[in-house]
């Protein structure tokens, strides 16, 4: 079960919400001095977004959100992904990360390198993304692949696209605007999201591994 069948009113990590606006800055730093050479502030209204604030950190008028985005078209190349796009949320073997034709094209040395690099239990193929399963409250969209229009209900979030939102009604997880919540992840799936977020932020830089 991907979503909670009987969601509560509290806001939680991974909840799908609606009705928020985000801002981002497009800027170019100056060679010297504290002020940017130029900047542009962009405002976007989100049809649907996901809460990335940990449950215990929701409050004090602040939320961290990320937009709910369409999946990558190129994922259709991989039968393991097409079988269930939420497979991207979990660690996988090297064979599962590549389409069969790409796997067959690997040299024996490259294949062994990939096998040696896999952590016990598998490795994440897309560390930046987490995929949301279809639901009746999520609109479907069309992706054209190999001359065929495919109706898609899966969505993804990108950990690199996080935005802080200030909202007076966000007091704590129990005191939030109830009208914004659309879907709540099951406990198991929220655990998957938390583990993948931890992996995303916990990866050491190469120079730190020396």
- Does 198 map to a domain? yes
In the chain, how many domains are there? 1
Phi then psi for residue 127, to 5 deg, are -70, -20
**pLDDT surpasses 90 at 121:** no
- Region 7-27: mean pLDDT is 91
The helix or strand, by DSSP H or E, that contains position 56, with its residue range, turns out to be: none
List, in sequence order, every beta strand (DSSP E) within 18-162: 20-28, 38-46, 49-51, 62-67, 69-70, 129-132, 141-145, 148-152, 155-158
Selected residue with higher pLDDT from 64 and 32? 64
| For residue 76, pLDDT beyond 80 | yes
Task: Tell me the residue range of the domain where 128 lies.
Answer: 16-30+39-202
* Nearest-10 Cα torsion for 175, 181, 186, 190: -70
Mean pLDDT of 78-83: 93
Is residue 71 very low, low, confident or very high in pLDDT (cuts 50, 70, 90)? Answer: very high
Q: Please indicate, yes or no, if residue 7 is contained in any of the structural domains.
A: no
Domain membership flag for residue 101: yes
Alpha-helical segments (H) within the chain: 79-83, 94-97, 100-104, 108-117, 187-202
Residue 99 confidence (pLDDT) = 72
208 occurs within a structural domain: no
126 domain-assigned: yes
Residue 181 lies in a domain: yes
Choose the weakest-confidence range: 80-89, 100-109, 189-198. Answer: 100-109
Q: Is the pLDDT confidence value at 74 over 70? A: yes
Tokens of 57: 């950190």
The answer to whether 165 and 22 have CB atoms below 8 angstroms apart is yes
When pLDDT is cut at 50, 70 and 90, the band that residue 131 belongs to is: very high
Token representation of residue 174: 């129990």
CB-count burial class (<10 Å; 0-12, 13-18, 19+) for 40 = exposed
The answer, yes or no, to whether residue 210 has pLDDT greater than 90, is no
- For residue 9, is it within any domain? no
Q: Which of 23-27, 73-77, 182-186, 192-196 has the lowest average pLDDT?
A: 23-27
53 within a domain of the structure (yes/no): yes
């Amino acid at each position: 079960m991907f979503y909670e069948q009987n969601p509560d009113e509290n806001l939680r990590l991974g909840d799908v919400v609606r009705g928020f606006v985000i801002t981002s800055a497009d800027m170019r730093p100056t060679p010297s001095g504290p002020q940017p050479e130029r900047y542009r502030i962009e405002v976007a209204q989100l049809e649907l977004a996901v809460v990335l604030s940990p449950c215990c950190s929701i409050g004090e008028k602040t939320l961290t959100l990320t937009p709910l985005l369409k999946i990558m078209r190129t994922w259709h190349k991989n039968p393991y992904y097409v079988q269930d796009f939420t497979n991207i949320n979990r660690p996988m073997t090297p064979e599962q990360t590549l389409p069969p034709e790409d796997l067959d094209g690997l040299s024996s040395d490259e294949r062994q390198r990939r096998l040696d690099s896999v952590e016990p239990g598998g490795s994440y193929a897309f560390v930046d993304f987490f995929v949301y399963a279809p639901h009746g409250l999520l609109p479907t969209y069309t992706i054209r692949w190999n001359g065929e229009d495919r109706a898609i209900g899966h969505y993804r979030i990108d950990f690199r696209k996080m935005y802080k939102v200030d909202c007076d009604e966000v007091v704590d997880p129990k005191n939030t605007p109830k009208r914004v919540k659309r879907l709540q992840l099951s406990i198991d799936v929220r655990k998957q999201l938390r583990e993948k977020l931890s992996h995303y932020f916990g990866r050491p830089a190469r120079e730190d591994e020396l």
